[in-house]
Structure 1
Amino acid sequence: MTSTEPTSSEPLKPTAGDRRRWFALAIVMTAAFMDLVDVTIVNIAIPSIQENEGASDSQIQWITAGYALAFAAGLITGGRLGDIHGRKRLFLIGIGGFTVASALCGFAANPEMLVASRILQGAMAALMVPQVLSIVHATFPAHERGKVFGLFGAVVGLGAVSGPLLGALLTEWNLFGLEWRPIFLINLPVGIAGLILGIRFITESKAPKALKLDLVGVALVVVALLMLLYPLTRGRELDWPLWGYLSMAGSLVVFAALVAYERRKAARDGSPLIELSLFKVKSFAAGIAVQTAFGVVLGIFFLVWTLYLQVGLGWRPLRAGLTGVPFSIAVSLAAGLSVQQLVPRFGRKVLQAGALVMAVGVLLYLWEAERYGLGIASWQMALPLAVMGAGMGLIIAPLTDVILSEVPREHSGSASGLLNTVQQMGNALGLGLVSVVFFGVIDDNLRPTQVGPAFADAFQYALVWVAALMTAIFLLMFALPKRPALRGGGADPEHGTEAEKKPEFAS
C-alpha cells in the first residue's frame, strides 16, 4: 500500500451524526479486502492455470510478477493523482478498472491475455488502494480513527486467512466448468457494488497544494525494473542469452539515471517521485534494504510452496489451501501481539526475533521435507508453517512504523509510500528469481515419474535461499532504531496520510 506525498489535506469537518461516512468506510474496506484476497487467491490456482491453459513456467511467473510490478510502479503515482484530481474520483476509476481487468482475467483466451490482464489489474489496484486511507483521513475525525484502523486490522487478518481457502474452494468446485476462472470473476459483483455505492456515499476530497506528477521518474522506475525482471524470468527458458545479461547490467545504469534525475527534480521544483533526502536517515536506508529483501522472500516462498504442494506432491487445491491455515492464523495472532505488547516493550529485538523465528521455521520445514519426502502429510507441515507464520507476524505488522520512527514527520507520507513500493518491487524480484532458485534446478525433460521428486528437491533448494535471506534481514535490522516510537495508524492529519499498514503476503 502507499500514501500520498505529505500535503495539507482539505478538512471536510465530518460530524459524529453523519452515517454516510460509515457506508463510505464499508466500501473502501471492501475494496481493500478485495485487493488483498486477489493477491493471495491466485497462487493457489497457479497449477490449475498451468495445467488447463498450457502456460509456460515464465508465463506462470508473470501472472504473479506482472501484477506485483504494475502495482509497485503505480503506488506512489496513484496516491499523487488522488491528491491532484480527487481521492473519490481516483478510487472509483481504480475500482472500476480493477473490476474490468478481473473480467478480462476470468475470460482470458490464452496465457498471454491473462498476463496482460493481470498487469492491468495491478495498475488499477495502484489507483484504487492508495486512496483508501486518504479517504478515511478526510472522512473521519481524529478521535474515531483508532476504531477505524482496528477494523482495518481485522480486514487484513480475514483476508490473509480467507484468500487461499477461497481460491482453493473456487478452483476445486469448478463452477459451471470454468476451472480456475471464478477466482477472478468473483470480483465482478463486489466491484460493481463498490462502484455504485461509492458514487453515492464517498465524499470527494483533494489536497489543494498537491505536488506535480513526476512522469519521467515513473517511466525510469518501470524501465529499470523491466530491464532487470524480464531477463530473470525468461532467461532459463531462452538459455540465458547475452542480451539478458546486458539488460540486467543496463538496469543499474537506469537506476543511477533515476537517482540523478530525482536529485535535479528536487532542486528544480521540489516535487520528485522519490525524496532522496530520506536516505540520509540511516535507519530508513537500512529499512529500504530490509523491506526489499522481505519482499523477495515472500515472492519466492509462496509461489514455490504452491507448486511444491500441488505439482510436486500432487495435492488438490483444497488440501493445499487448508494446509496453509496454521500459517495464516499464526501471522494474525503474532501480528497483534507484536504491535500491542512486544514492540513497545522490547523494541527492535522483536523484529529480529521474528526474522530468526521465521528462519528456524524454514529450516524445520526443510528438515521435514527431506525426512518425509513425497510421503509428507499436511499435519507434519503444521508446525514449521506455524513457526514461520509467527515469525512473519512479529515482523510484518510493526515494520513500517519502526523504519519510519526516525524519519522527519513532514516526510512520513513519502517515506511510507516508498517503503511499500520497494516491498512490492522486492516481491516482483523474488518472483523473477523463482526461475533461478526453483525452475533452474529442474530438468526440462522430466518423465511423469520424475516430476514429484524434482519439484521436492527444487523446493528444498529454494528454502535454503529463503533461510539465507532471513538471516541477512536479521543482520540488516541492527541498523533500525533500538526503541522506536511507533506512530500507529497514520500520519498527523496536518501532514497528509501515511501508508496503509497492510501486509502483502504474495502477489
Structure 2
Amino acid sequence: MVAAPVTPPADVPVDPPADATDRRRWFALAIVMTAAFMDLVDVTIVNIAIPSIERDTGATFSQIQWITAGYALAFAAGLITGGRLGDIHGRKRLFLLGIGGFTVASALCGFAANPEMLVASRILQGAMAAMMVPQVLSIVHATFPAHERGKVFGLFGAIVGLGAVSGPLLGALLTEWNLFGLEWRPIFLINLPVGVVGLILGSRFITESKAPRALRLDLVGVALVTLGLLMLLYPLTRGEELDWPLWGYASMAGALGVFAALVAYERRKAARDGSPLIELSLFKVKSFAAGIAVQTVFGIGLGIFFLVWTLYMQVGLGWSALRAGLTGVPFSIAVSTAAALSVQKLVPRFGRGVLQAGALLMGLGVLSYLWEAGHYGLGITSWQMALPLVVMGVGMGLIVAPLTDAVLSGVPREHAGSASGLINTVQQMGNALGLGLVSVVFFGEIGDRLTPAQMGPAFVDAFQNALGWVAVVMAAIFVLMFALPKRPAQHLEGAGTDEPGGPDVADRLDEMDGMDGTAGSADTAVTTGAAGVPA
C-alpha cells in the first residue's frame, strides 16, 4: 500500500541525505530508544513498589496517589510544550536537557527523605520526561531516510512491549532484593547509570535539528491547561482524606471556568497570530472529536485500574511484590501480541470493528475479574486471575495501537502534528484524572481504622467497586467509537498492499513531524501510546 506523493509544508524539514554506511545514526537510534524505554519502565515500575513505599515512608493514601498522578499530570501538561520547545531550540538540545533532568529527578526520588519530597521529585520527573519523550521520533526523522523508518517504528513497537513486560518484573525484583537495605529506592536509582550514559553518548552521536519556521510557545495556554487540571485533580485526590470540604467543590467548579477561558483565549490567539497551543478547528472533525473523547475516557479507566490492582494484590491479598509482578506477565504479553496483530493484520481488513472488539473484550475481562474477586475472595490465586487478565490484555492491545491512526484519519494534513500531540496529551490527562478518581471509587469504599483482619475483605470490596466503574468506562468507549471512521484513511487509499510499516506510514509521520510547530508532539503516538500498560 503506497500513499500518493505528498508535498511537505514549508515548515516541515525535507529528509536529510543519509549515508547508508553511516553507523552513527544507529547509535543515535539506540540512545533515543533507551530513553523511551527508561520512561516507559519508570511509569510501570512504580506501581508495583507502592506498598513498599507506603510502609517505609508512612505515606498517606493521597500521597500514594500523587506519587503516580503527579508524574502523569506533569507529563501530560508538558507534552505539547516539550515538542514545541524542541522545534524552536533544537530537538537534540531538548532531548539532552530532558534526559539530564530526568536522571537528576530520579536521583531525588531515590534519596527522598519523606513522602512530600518524593511527590515533588516525581512531578519534576514527569516534567523532564515531557521534554525528553517528544523529541524521540523527531530525532529519528532527522536521522533516517523515509524508506528506513518502517523498520525503526517496528523496533519501537518491540520496545513498548518489552517495557510493558519488564517494568513490573524489574520493580518487583528490585523491591524484593532490598539491595543495600534500600528497599524501594533502587527502582529510581537504576535510572542514574542509564541516564548518564545516554547523556554522554547522545551529545556525541545525535544530530541536531529544528523546525525552520517553528511557532512561538503559547505560555498562557500552557498556564491555563495546568491550572485547570490542578484545580480539578487536587480536590479529587485529597477530598476523601479531608472529608470533602466546600473549597474542594468550589475548586472543581472553578476548573470548568478555567477551561472555558482556555477555549476563548485559544480562539483569539488563533485569529491573532495562528499559534495556539490547541488547534480548536480540529474539533469540527467528527472522528477527531470522538477520538479525543475515547482517549480521555480510556485514560481514566487505565488510571483507575492499574493503581487499585496493585493495592488489591499487595495490600488486600498480602502478596509479595514479586508475586504481583509475575501475575501481571500474561496481561503484558497479551497486550503486546494483540497490538502487533491489530496494526499489521486486523485493522486493514476490519477497520473500526477491531477497536470496538477491543473495548468489548476489555469490558468482558473486567467483568470476569470482578466475578472472580467476589467468588474466590482472599483465596484467589494468580492462575485464576490469568484468564481475565489475558482477555483484558488482548482487548487493550486491540485499542492502543490503531487508535491514534483511526482518530487522525479525518484530520486535515496541515494539522496532523498538532492533532497527534493533543491526542496523546489528553490520554495522559485522562490517566491523571483516573488516578485522582481512585480516592472516590476505591479509597472511598475503605473504612477508617481497619483492623488487620478487616483490611483484606475491605480491599476486595473496594477493588470490586473500582472494577465496576472500569466496566462502565469500557461501555462508554464502545459507544463513542461509533463516531470513528469505519476504516482509517490510509487503509482506504491503497488496498492493493498490506505491507505494514511501508512508505504510507513513513509519509504519514513525515506529515506529522513539524506541522504547526509541533514536531515531536506526534512522536508520543509511538513512544507513549502504550505507556498506560501498567500505569
- Sort the TM-score into its range (normalised by shorter chain): over 0.9
In structure 2, distance between residues paired with 1:489 and 1:53: 48
Superposition pairs of residues 62-73 of structure 1, within 5 angstroms: 62-73=66-77
- Aligned match for 2:172, one of 168, 172, 177: 168
Whether 2:465 is the aligned partner of 1:438: answer no
In structure 2, distance between residues paired with 1:492 and 1:155: 19
Superposition pairs of residues 111-190 of structure 1, within 5 angstroms: 111-190=115-194
Partner of 2:321: 317
1:410-443 Cα deviation digits (max 9, x unpaired): 1111000000000000000000000000000110
Bigger mean CA deviation after superposition, 497-506 or 307-316:
497-506
1:369-421 Cα deviation digits (max 9, x unpaired): 11100000000000000000000000011000011011111111100000000
In structure 2, distance between residues paired with 1:374 and 1:184: 31
Q: TM-score, normalised by structure 2?
A: 0.93
Whether 2:422 is the aligned partner of 1:395: answer no
- Aligned match for 2:355, one of 341, 351, 357: 351
In structure 1, distance between residues paired with 2:146 and 2:157: 18
Amino acid at match of 2:168: P
Superposition pairs of residues 315-394 of structure 1, within 5 angstroms: 315-394=319-398
In structure 1, distance between residues paired with 2:269 and 2:327: 50
- Aligned match for 1:265, one of 262, 266, 269: 269
In structure 2, distance between residues paired with 1:6 and 1:384: 50
Kept in 1, the 8 Å contact 2:420–2:512? The answer is no
Whether 2:122 is the aligned partner of 1:107: answer no
Q: Secondary structure at the match of 1:504?
A: coil
Percent of aligned pairs with the same amino acid: 82
Go from structure 1 to structure 2 and tell me whether the alpha carbon gap of 1:244 and 1:337 turns closer, same or farther (over 3 Å shift): same
In structure 2, distance between residues paired with 1:159 and 1:424: 18
In structure 1, distance between residues paired with 2:432 and 2:375: 31
Kept in 2, the 8 Å contact 1:348–1:482? The answer is yes
Whether 2:531 is the aligned partner of 1:504: answer yes
Whether 2:210 is the aligned partner of 1:206: answer yes
Kept in 1, the 8 Å contact 2:231–2:254? The answer is yes
In structure 1, distance between residues paired with 2:283 and 2:26: 38
Q: CA deviation at 1:495?
A: 5.2
1:155-184 Cα deviation digits (max 9, x unpaired): 011000000000000000000000000000
Partner of 1:31: 35
1:342-385 Cα deviation digits (max 9, x unpaired): 11100001100000000000000011111100000000000000
Q: CA deviation at 1:488?
A: 3.8
Q: CA deviation at 1:6?
A: 9.5
- Aligned match for 1:493, one of 492, 510, 528: 510
Amino acid at match of 1:426: G
Whether 2:487 is the aligned partner of 1:470: answer no
May I ask how many residue pairs the two structures share in their alignment?
Answer: 503
Structure 1: segments with no counterpart, 5+ residues? none
Partner of 2:249: 245
In structure 2, distance between residues paired with 1:350 and 1:87: 35
In structure 2, distance between residues paired with 1:129 and 1:372: 42
Kept in 1, the 8 Å contact 2:237–2:439? The answer is yes
Kept in 2, the 8 Å contact 1:9–1:495? The answer is no
Amino acid at match of 1:71: F
Kept in 1, the 8 Å contact 2:416–2:511? The answer is no
- Aligned match for 1:288, one of 292, 296, 313: 292
Go from structure 1 to structure 2 and tell me whether the alpha carbon gap of 1:352 and 1:494 turns closer, same or farther (over 3 Å shift): closer
Amino acid at match of 1:480: L
In structure 2, distance between residues paired with 1:53 and 1:461: 28
Whether 2:283 is the aligned partner of 1:279: answer yes
Amino acid at match of 1:114: L
Q: CA deviation at 1:9?
A: 2.2
Partner of 1:43: 47
Whether 2:424 is the aligned partner of 1:407: answer no
Q: CA deviation at 1:504?
A: 1.5
1:2-40 Cα deviation digits (max 9, x unpaired): xxx993226432221111100000000000000000000
In structure 2, distance between residues paired with 1:170 and 1:494: 42
Q: CA deviation at 1:494?
A: 5.3
Amino acid at match of 1:394: L
Amino acid at match of 2:414: E
Q: CA deviation at 1:491?
A: 3.2
Amino acid at match of 2:484: L
In structure 2, distance between residues paired with 1:404 and 1:435: 34
In structure 2, distance between residues paired with 1:344 and 1:403: 15
In structure 1, distance between residues paired with 2:172 and 2:33: 23
Go from structure 1 to structure 2 and tell me whether the alpha carbon gap of 1:32 and 1:6 turns closer, same or farther (over 3 Å shift): farther
Kept in 2, the 8 Å contact 1:350–1:394? The answer is yes
Kept in 2, the 8 Å contact 1:7–1:495? The answer is no
Partner of 2:451: 447
In structure 2, distance between residues paired with 1:389 and 1:489: 28
In structure 1, distance between residues paired with 2:435 and 2:372: 24
1:225-277 Cα deviation digits (max 9, x unpaired): 00000000000111100000000000000000000000000000000000000
Kept in 2, the 8 Å contact 1:68–1:425? The answer is yes
In structure 2, distance between residues paired with 1:461 and 1:447: 21
Q: CA deviation at 1:484?
A: 1.2
Go from structure 1 to structure 2 and tell me whether the alpha carbon gap of 1:71 and 1:234 turns closer, same or farther (over 3 Å shift): same
In structure 1, distance between residues paired with 2:35 and 2:477: 32
Q: CA deviation at 1:448?
A: 1.1
Partner of 2:5: none
1:105-134 Cα deviation digits (max 9, x unpaired): 000000000000000000000000000000
Q: CA deviation at 1:493?
A: 2.7
Q: Secondary structure at the match of 2:83?
A: helix
Partner of 2:23: 19
In structure 1, distance between residues paired with 2:350 and 2:14: 38
Q: Secondary structure at the match of 1:46?
A: helix
Q: Secondary structure at the match of 1:48?
A: helix
In structure 2, distance between residues paired with 1:64 and 1:447: 27
Structure 2: segments with no counterpart, 5+ residues? 1-8, 491-503, 514-518
Kept in 2, the 8 Å contact 1:75–1:126? The answer is yes
Whether 2:457 is the aligned partner of 1:457: answer no
Go from structure 1 to structure 2 and tell me whether the alpha carbon gap of 1:89 and 1:295 turns closer, same or farther (over 3 Å shift): same
In structure 1, distance between residues paired with 2:24 and 2:298: 39
Q: Secondary structure at the match of 1:434?
A: helix
- What is the root-mean-square deviation of aligned Cα atoms in Å? 1.2
